[in-house]
Amino acid sequence: GAVVSQHPSRVICKSGTSVKIECRSLDFQATTMFWYRQFPKKSLMLMATSNEGSKATYEQGVEKDKFLINHASLTLSTLTVTSAHPEDSSFYICSARGGGRDTEAFFGQGTRLTVV
Amino acid sequence: GQNIDQPTEMTATEGAIVQINCTYQTSGFNGLFWYQQHAGEAPTFLSYNVLDGLEEKGRFSSFLSRSKGYSYLLLKELQMKDSASYLCAVTDSNYQLIWGAGTKLIIKP
């Protein structure tokens, strides 16, 4: 399958600082990228969908000013958690889709964010 | 509303067979995915069904009945490494992925 690389895998930051998470499709062009958040023992919660070159579409309840998403190229999307708080601590996962809308999405390795 | 139901947890014995069911009610249907997720890791793709019937891939098989809004994932010759959560996800008429909460599968020796 295709490879999606997510970096960093783990990050610890202080309250009030910002953290950037990168998601790269290594061997295909990702026309659409998805950002998920997962709480312990819970399923994936879609935060936003981004298409290359356009603004991300955020799900209801997700603060777009707090979770900044940039999808500037067909191989890179970034999620920036701004002014992080301890309640933002979570597992963040990106996935990328290169083909039509019915094709599978490939997942990055995930990022464990801990805000102290 | 849109809903996907799957059991929260199942237990099976190494070497045995287990079937994980998934029922869905969504606005439209454009395919169903099964993913495996080990604790602390991202999900990995297992199967995709869009037509009725059984898709077999090695030890794993996935079945779909669109008229019943039902799918199952069948795991044969269970190994300890199969202990994981199994997520069912359906693509609706807007091609949005709707996720189930996942089934935690525990394999015992």
| 3-class DSSP assignment, residue B27 | coil
In angstroms, rounded to a whole number, what is the distance separating the alpha carbons of residues A36 and A51?
Answer: 15
Please report, rounded to a whole number, the percentage of residues in chain B having pLDDT higher than 70: 100
**Each residue of B34-83: pLDDT tens digit?**
999 888 788 888 999 999 999 999 999 999 999 999 999 999 999 999 99
Structure tokens at B25: 């009610």
Is there a contact between A46 and B50 if contact means CB atoms under 8 Å apart? Answer: no
**Each residue of A14-40: pLDDT tens digit?**
999 999 999 999 988 888 899 999 887
CB B69 within 8 A of CB B5: no
Test the A interface: residue of B8, B95, B97 with most A CBs within 10 Å? B97
Say whether pLDDT at A101 is over 70: no
Q: Is A61 exposed, middle or buried (0-12, 13-18, 19+ CB in 10 A)?
A: exposed
Chain B interface includes A60 (CB < 8 A): no
What is the torsion angle, in degrees rounded to the nearest 10, for the CA atoms of residue A93, residue A97, residue A101 and residue A103?
A: -100
Is there a contact between A102 and B50 if contact means CB atoms under 8 Å apart? Answer: yes
Is there a contact between B30 and A6 if contact means CB atoms under 8 Å apart? Answer: no
Q: How far is CA B103 from CA A56, A96, A101, in A?
A: 30, 24, 25
